[in-house]
């Protein structure tokens, strides 16, 4: 009887300990093999080109280009790429952004271990997988104000800048995080404020909280 070829997985997370935990978790699962790891989106993009893993399990919050942009770049180069987001963020806006970027699935790091395996297998099988309850009742789906609707209008890069500024980063720090020039980020910030009809960073943070982008 021919031995089943294991599902090849690449782990992408900027925390070495987290990646080690994922690797240990998947090591005991028959039919799944971790073939590569990356701590930044830039490295993940290159590794994907070199190795073509069956599934990429990726965090969203990473230094450099970040998870959302990495998804966009990988899928832009290979439309058949299968990416599963494994993130601490449980707000509907993140799920929608990730799926719009090209991810095939989204689960949280609080999910039970077997959910990670189920999601990987579902995606490899040609389907998609969103953890139960992630979109239920989210502000992004059932807004109590117009703020989440306005956030949805932000472009991918504008959303990245919005998220970092809402967390309290300065324009320069956000530029460093995104590997962009400070003037470029300042221009994005101006467009974000215009789209959200706000003028201060305090208002920006409020919109982010209402939309689930950040939590108190």
Strands (E), the chain: 7-12, 32-38, 55-58, 83-87, 105-108, 129-130
Rounded CA gap, 216 and 197, in Å?
Answer: 22
Does a structural domain hold residue 191? Answer: yes
Helices H / strands E in the chain, number of each: 10, 6
CATH number of the structural domain spanning residue 44: 3.40.50.2300
Question: Domain boundary at 130, 159, 175, which?
Answer: 130
pLDDT, tens digit, for every residue of 22-43? 999 999 999 999 999 999 999 9
pLDDT, tens digit, for every residue of 154-201? 988 899 999 999 999 999 999 998 888 999 999 999 999 999 999 999
**Token pair listed for 21:** 């935990």
- Domain span at residue 95 reads 7-130
Note whether 26 and 75 are same-domain residues.
yes
pTM: 0.85
């Amino acid at each position: 009887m021919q031995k089943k070829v294991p599902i090849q997985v690449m782990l992408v997370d900027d925390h070495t300990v987290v990646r080690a935990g994922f690797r240990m978790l998947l090591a005991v699962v028959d039919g799944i093999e971790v073939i590569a790891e990356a701590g930044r989106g830039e490295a993940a993009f290159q590794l994907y080109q070199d190795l073509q893993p069956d599934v990429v399990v990726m965090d969203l919050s990473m230094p450099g280009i970040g998870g959302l942009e990495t998804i966009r770049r990988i899928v832009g180069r290979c439309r058949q790429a299968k990416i599963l987001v494994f993130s601490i963020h449980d707000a509907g806006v993140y799920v929608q952004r990730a799926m719009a970027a090209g991810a095939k699935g989204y689960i949280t790091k609080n999910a039970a271990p077997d959910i990670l395996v189920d999601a990987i297998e579902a995606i490899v099988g040609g389907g998609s997988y969103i953890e139960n309850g992630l979109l239920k009742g989210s502000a992004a789906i059932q807004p109590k104000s117009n703020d989440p609707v306005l956030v949805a209008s932000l472009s991918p890069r504008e959303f990245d800048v919005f998220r970092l500024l809402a967390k309290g980063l300065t324009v320069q720090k956000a530029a460093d995080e995104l590997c962009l020039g400070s003037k470029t980020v300042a221009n994005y910030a101006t467009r974000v404020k215009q789209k959200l009809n706000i003028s201060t960073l305090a208002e920006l943070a409020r919109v982010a909280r209402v939309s689930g982008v950040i939590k108190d």
